[in-house]
């Protein structure tokens, strides 16, 4: 235990790094809510009931739908070729930033959008775009659809990473031998085992869907908008008297998220009771496989198609000359948008890369120390402490970032790239932990026992056995963290004080101008960095372990 001194403090240090910024920021942001009649003015706003209902409704509906699609995909199709195809196509889509996904989807679905153009005028007879309310519909259906396609890849990745720990394969074999259908067997035996591991991720998706700003501004209703979108409007209003209203709104938003989480928890308990009752009936439900398999496969393919179509549309716009309705393709292609973007690009790409590398490296090191401390000293974080780790993902960003920026200003670190990297760390670390914890814990401890028996120190076991053997999941987790860092907008803008320019801050500023060609260019760039990271995470282990059959992919 000679090397364990510093390691013992790793979990506490990590939690401190997560919790302090969030709590300090929260306090700083919410304080104004009680000044200057913020609460009273919020309650006076006639759009409040509907905006709050929209936040709740679209958030819960999209989280449930994304969860249903993910669970049925895995339950009905895992191990098959269709599933492998969907998984391969969806993984890179995890890297698509929310704003880019929303803008791409808007172009795909609008009455003057790509689908309508592909079908016009030969199938629809439209020579002018029809006056149909598809985007920004008052019920938030377009927003819900956008959130679903964006969250399915994330949930799927998390679920797949968690399955080995739940011993899914043997459970399924057992259920099959008892004559259960595939889906019924999975739902009754694997889901209860895997649920505790993916629950935080599901809650994060629920919280995120309720508080999403960039998607709500593009796809969501506007009369009134969702509460989160209205918060940003107040927060950025030139009338400084709107700030207390924004703070009071942030407080309400926080309350809504907590209420939704509580509601979801009740639903979980009800669902579990239902599951037990279904299990007790003993019915094997083989026929469910017949329709649920194709349904899940169809939904999965639809998600893939919609996301790929959105990205292809944006890619096409970045190269488009004139492109009017109802032409299916641009009249001419050109590099104008790319040439226009080129001069500012180098600097922004450099800072993006620097921030992503620093925050991801720190996050990965911290997560590895936490997990190693857990393995060596049994310092398993209690579930209550684990919630601290989830805090940054569950809190609405607008509720704590302004306060955090204020704090940075007061201690004089804001505007520095170090402060921005530290802010990124708060969001990157939970995702890295989430992606890495399950495969790490699933590592066969008997290998360590064998190592110890041969005289290896814990340090040597870590460096020579565990790390190389887990290189693949470590790199995947780092790639996820990298993608998260690249996508950060509000933290970069607020903590950076405008001095730190990344591809994402450029992309969001430019997308406020609505120019699809420029948006397409930046979306492609924003996408390319994380894609590169994912490609590296795949290629590096393949190259390193080319002579080791046991370390090949899928092992």
Near another protein by CB under 8 A: residue from 59, 140, 224, 458: 224
Q: How far apart are CA 397 and CA 418, in angstroms?
A: 20
Q: List binders of another protein among 227-286 (CB under 8 A).
A: 235-240, 243
Kindly give the interhelix angle for 471-487 and 336-377, rounded to the nearest 10 degrees. Answer: 130
- Alpha helices (H) along 91-226: 98-109, 114-119, 141-162, 168-177, 182-185, 191-211, 214-219
Q: Please tell me the distance from the alpha carbon of residue 306 to that of residue 101, in angstroms, as a whole number.
A: 10
346 binds another protein (CB under 8 A): no
Please choose, out of 155-163, 216-224, 273-281, 537-545, the segment that lies near another protein by the rule CB under 8 A: 216-224
406, burial (CB in 10 Å: exposed 0-12, middle 13-18, buried 19+): middle
Beta carbon nearer to another protein, 227 or 304? 227
Is 182 one of the binding residues for another protein (CB under 8 A)? no
Q: Closest distance between another protein and the C-beta of residue 109, in Å?
A: 13
Q: Which is nearer to another protein, 10 or 51 (CB)?
A: 51
Residue 192 found at the interface with another protein (CB under 8 A)? no
- Residue position matching structure tokens 């959105």: 310
Q: How far is the CB of 323 from another protein (least distance, A)?
A: 8
Contact 217, 321 (CB under 8 A): no
The residue from 8, 12, 41, 50 that contacts another protein (CB under 8 A) is: 50
Burial string for 237-260 (b: 16+ CB within 10 Å, else e) reads: eeeeebbbbbbbbbbbbbebbeeb
In terms of CB distance, is 171 or 516 closer to another protein? 516
409 binds another protein (CB under 8 A): yes
Q: How far apart are CA 143 and CA 166, in angstroms?
A: 34
The two structure tokens encoding residue 148: 């679903």
> Segment 137-166, which members bind another protein (CB under 8 A)?
137-138
Q: Among the candidate windows 13-21, 45-53, 349-357, 534-542, which touches another protein by CB under 8 A? A: 45-53
Q: Are 183 and 285 in contact (CB under 8 A)?
A: yes
Q: How far is the CB of 112 from another protein (least distance, A)?
A: 4
Give the range of 65-73, 80-88, 220-228, 377-385 binding another protein by CB under 8 A. 220-228
Of the two residues 207 and 507, which places its CB atom closer to another protein in the complex? 507
| Nearer to another protein among residue 95 and residue 503 (C-beta) | 503
Report the Cα–Cα distance between both ends of the chain, in Å, rounded: 32
| 491-510 residues near another protein, rule: CB under 8 A | 493, 497-499, 501, 505-506, 508-510
**What part of residues 475-494 is at the interface with another protein (CB under 8 A)?**
493
Helix axes 141-162, 288-318, angle to 10 degrees: 110
DSSP 419-486: HHHHHHHHHHHHHHHHHHHHHHHTS-HHHHHHHHHTT--HHHIIIIIIHHHTHHHHHHHHHHHHHHHH
- Measured in degrees and rounded to the nearest 5, phi and psi for residue 396 equal -65, 130
Which tokens go with 55? 């936040």
Out of 4, 37, 57, 111, which residue is the one contacting another protein (CB under 8 A)? 111
- Pick between residue 228 and residue 505 the one whose CB is nearest to another protein: 505
Site residues (CB under 8 A) for another protein, limited to 118-137: 128-129, 131, 133, 135-137
* Residues 73, 387, 212: CA angle, nearest 5 degrees: 60
Our finding on whether 200 is near another protein (CB under 8 A) is no
Which residue, 217 or 303, has its beta carbon nearer to another protein?
217
52 binds another protein (CB under 8 A): no
By the rule CB under 8 A, 40 interacts with another protein: no
Q: By C-beta, is 100 or 156 nearer to another protein?
A: 100
Q: Is 543 in the site for another protein (CB under 8 A)?
A: no
Out of 9, 17, 112, 532, the only residue in the binding site for another protein (CB under 8 A) is 112
Residue 514 interacts with another protein (CB under 8 A): yes or no = yes
Assess 100 for contact with another protein (CB under 8 A): no
Query: What are the C-alpha distances in Å from 284 to residues 108, 154, 295, 505?
Result: 42, 31, 19, 53
> Contact between 87 and another protein (CB under 8 A)?
no
In whole angstroms, the minimum distance from the beta carbon of 55 to another protein comes to 14
* CA-to-CA separations, 22 to 255, 374, 401, 410, in angstroms, rounded: 16, 24, 8, 16
Give the interface with another protein as residue ranges (CB under 8 A).
45-47, 50, 110-112, 128-129, 131, 133, 135-138, 217, 221-224, 235-240, 243, 321-322, 324-325, 332, 336, 340-341, 343-344, 402, 405-406, 409-410, 415, 493, 497-499, 501, 505-506, 508-516, 518
């Amino acid at each position: 235990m000679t090397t364990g001194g510093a390691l013992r403090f790793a979990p506490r240090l990590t939690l401190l790094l997560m919790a302090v910024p969030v709590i300090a920021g929260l306090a700083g942001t919410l304080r104004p809510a009680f000044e200057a009649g913020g609460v009273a003015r919020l309650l006076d706003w006639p759009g409040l009931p509907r905006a709050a209902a929209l936040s709740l409704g679209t958030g819960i509906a999209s989280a449930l739908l994304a969860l249903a699609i993910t669970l049925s995909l895995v339950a009905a199709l895992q191990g098959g070729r269709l599933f492998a195809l969907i998984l391969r196509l969806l993984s890179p889509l995890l890297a698509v930033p929310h704003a880019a996904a929303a803008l791409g989807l808007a172009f795909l679905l609008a009455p003057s959008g790509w689908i309508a153009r592909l079908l016009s005028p030969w199938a629809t007879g439209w020579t002018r775009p029809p006056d149909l309310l598809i985007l920004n519909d008052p019920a938030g259906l377009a927003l819900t659809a956008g959130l679903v396609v964006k969250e399915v890849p994330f949930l799927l990745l998390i679920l797949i990473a968690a399955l080995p720990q739940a011993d899914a394969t043997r459970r399924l074999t057992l259920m099959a031998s008892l004559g259960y259908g595939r889906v019924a067997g999975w739902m009754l035996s694997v889901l209860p085992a895997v649920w505790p591991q993916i629950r935080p991720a599901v809650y994060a998706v629920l919280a995120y869907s309720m508080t999403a700003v960039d998607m709500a501004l593009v796809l969501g209703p506007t009369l009134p908008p969702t509460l989160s979108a209205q918060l940003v409007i107040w927060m950025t209003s030139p009338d400084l008297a709107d700030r207390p209203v924004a703070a009071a709104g942030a407080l309400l938003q926080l309350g809504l998220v907590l209420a939704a989480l509580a509601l979801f928890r009740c639903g979980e308990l009800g669902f579990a009771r239902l599951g037990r009752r279904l299990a007790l009936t003993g019915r094997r439900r083989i026929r469910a496989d017949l329709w649920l398999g194709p349904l899940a496969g169809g939904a999965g393919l639809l998600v893939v198609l919609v996301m790929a179509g959105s990205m292809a549309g944006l890619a096409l716009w970045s190269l488009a000359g004139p492109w009017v309705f109802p032409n299916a393709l641009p009249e001419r292609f050109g590099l104008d948008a790319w040439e226009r973007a080129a001069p500012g690009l180098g600097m922004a790409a450099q800072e993006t890369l620097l921030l992503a590398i620093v925050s991801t490296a720190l996050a990965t090191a911290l997560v590895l120390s936490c997990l190693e401390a857990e393995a060596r000293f049994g310092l398993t974080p209690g579930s209550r402490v684990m919630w601290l780790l989830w805090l940054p993902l569950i809190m609405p960003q607008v509720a704590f970032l302004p306060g955090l920026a204020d704090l940075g200003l007061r201690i004089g670190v804001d505007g520095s790239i170090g402060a921005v990297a530290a802010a990124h760390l708060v969001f990157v670390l939970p995702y890295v932990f989430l992606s890495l914890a399950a495969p790490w814990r699933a590592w066969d401890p008997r290998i360590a026992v064998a190592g110890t028996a041969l005289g290896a120190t814990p340090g040597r076991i870590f460096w020579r056995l565990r790390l190389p053997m887990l290189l693949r999941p470590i790199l995947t987790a780092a790639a996820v963290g990298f993608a998260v860092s690249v996508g950060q907008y509000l933290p970069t803008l607020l903590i950076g004080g405008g001095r730190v320019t990344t591809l994402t801050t450029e992309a969001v500023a430019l997308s406020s101008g609505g120019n699809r060609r420029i948006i397409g260019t930046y979306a492609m760039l924003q996408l390319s960095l994380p894609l590169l990271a994912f490609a590296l995470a795949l290629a590096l282990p393949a190259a390193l372990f080319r002579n080791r059959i046991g370390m090949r992919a899928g092992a």
